Amino acid sequence: MPTAQHAQPRHQAQPQPGHRAWLIVFVVFSVFAVAVLGVAAATVWNVAQSFEAVEKIPDAFPTDEAVRPPAATGEAAAAMNFLLLGSDTRGASSSSIANLAGQRSDTIVIVHVPANREHLSVMSIPRDTWLTIPGHGDAKINAALSYGGVPLAVQTVEGLIGARIDHVAVVDFAGFKAVTDALGGVDINNPIAFDSYHLKGHAFPQGAQHLDGDQALAFARERYAFTDGDFQRVRNQQLLISALLSGLMHKSVLANPVTMGAVISAVQPHVAVDDGLTSGSLAALGAELSDLRSEDVTFFTVPTAGTGTSADGQSIVNLDWAALPGVQEAFRADAVETVVPPVQAAG
């Protein structure tokens, strides 16, 4: 492993509360961590119909049980880990989200749902994180999807966290823009002013501003404008997720079937999930999570030790190998929320 140049600060963002909402899908796009779409009970039928139309990922998990971590036992067996993969472009077939042959995952996020269903822990993994990809040697973690599709991405992430992934979702960029526009835009408080690389001619000033879909997408994708690149991009991703959640979980949105219908229609063409994730199982999970409030959802980043350069000259993100075992044990023991403050304080 190359020597770390400097440690990076951690950031925690908090989404806004959602009252009597149930979750239909965890949606991640290639430049930001995760957005949870909530819908009111009045839209259950429409959501179920839309979810059944969502593309399924066949054979999403490694077929060899020997390469996977042991299944959790005891109370921890009821916990769940969702892996969310975002890609800037679709695979060889432009009509398929699940077919990501040759593509790299620009965003990698794990959503840990504890057995008691009292909170969510959302961990971002920088795409340039340097580790060993099974069968391919040392590489950036985002190469796993390109080397072996979703199953290898799952195997690589499971090796990193030392625990099993229960469900997988893949999302493309266009869905993020569509959801933002369906909500009428989002409000953010931008911490760092910058000129957009992806939206030429547009500048994001510091402070409060309202973003439409194109602007939000450019905000979430930006990394070239920042001295710490992907680290600030992850922080901006988490900021934008919070804004999306605030819009999605607002009472006026949840109670409006027309708005929720537009959001659902915006999501459906741009997400694929493993074929074991059904509308029934997701509805049941959503019911269990219906009492979550803003303080119950925490975003953090896998422990890192700054950036460096690989032996072949690539710019990479170094893992903090000393801190990682504690995170792995927390995933295995269903205690992820207990490691978040120490991890974030370490930066």
pLDDT in tens, 238-279: 788 778 777 766 656 666 767 766 777 777 777 888 988 877
Q: Is the pLDDT of residue 45 over 60?
A: no
Q: What's the confidence (pLDDT) of residue 13?
A: 34
Q: Which residues contact 225 (CB under 8 A, 6 or more apart)?
A: 194, 195, 196, 197
- Strand pairing of 271-274 and 167-172? antiparallel
DSSP assignment of 245-281:
HHHHT-HHHHT-HHHHHHHHHHHGGGEEEETT--HHH
Higher pLDDT, 89 or 165: 165
The reported pLDDT for the residue numbered 25 is 31
User: What pLDDT, on a 0 to 100 scale, did the predictor assign at position 173?
Assistant: 66
* Residue burial 139-174, b: 16+ Cβ < 10 Å; e: rest: bbbbbbbbbbbbbbbbbbbbbbbbbbbbbbbbbbbb
Band of residue 121 on the pLDDT scale cut at 50, 70, 90:
confident
Kindly state whether residue 339 falls inside one of the protein's structural domains.
no
What domain count does the chain have?
1
Of 285 and 199, the structure prediction assigns the larger pLDDT to: 199
Q: What is the 3-state secondary structure (H, E, C) of 156-202?
A: HHHHHHCCCCCEEEEEEHHHHHHHHHHCCCEEEEECCCEECCCCCCC
Residue 282 lies in a domain: yes
Question: How many Cβ atoms are within 10 Å of 85's Cβ, its own excluded?
Answer: 27
User: Bigger pLDDT: 178 or 116?
Assistant: 116
- pLDDT top residue among 85 and 41: 85
Q: Could you tell me how far CA 114 lies from the centroid of its own chain?
A: 17
Residue 226 lies in a domain: yes
CA 234 to chain centre: 10
pLDDT of 97 strictly over 70: no
Least confident residue range of 86-95, 200-209, 308-317: 86-95
- Determine the straight-line distance between the first and last CA of the chain, rounded to whole angstroms: 19
Instruction: Report, as an integer, the average pLDDT of 148-163.
Output: 96
Of residues 81 and 177, which shows the higher confidence score?
Answer: 81
Range of the structural domain that residue 85 is part of: 22-333
Q: What number is the average pLDDT over the span 47-76?
A: 86
The verdict on residue 276 lying in a domain is yes
Residue 177 lies in a domain: yes
Domain assignment of residue 1, yes or no: no
228 within domain boundaries = yes
pLDDT of residue 201: 94
- CATH number, domain containing residue 218: 3.40.630.190
Burial class (CB in 10 A: 0-12, 13-18, 19+), 239: buried
- Report the alpha-carbon distance of residue 194 to residue 224 in Å, rounded: 10
Rounded average pLDDT over 151-165: 97
Look at residue 10 and tell me whether its pLDDT is greater than 50: no
Q: What is the pLDDT of residue 288?
A: 76
**Residue 122 above 80 pLDDT?**
yes
- Interatomic CA distance for residues 17 and 294, integer angstroms: 5
Residue 17 lies in a domain: no
What does the pLDDT look like over 285-319, one tens digit per residue? 767 776 766 567 788 889 999 899 999 999 999 99
On the question of pLDDT at 223 being above 80, the answer is yes
- Sign of the Cα torsion 125, 131, 137, 140 reads positive
DSSP 8-class letter at 128: T
Structure tokens at 182: 């369906």
The pLDDT confidence band at residue 100, using thresholds 50, 70 and 90, is: low
332: its two tokens: 């295995």
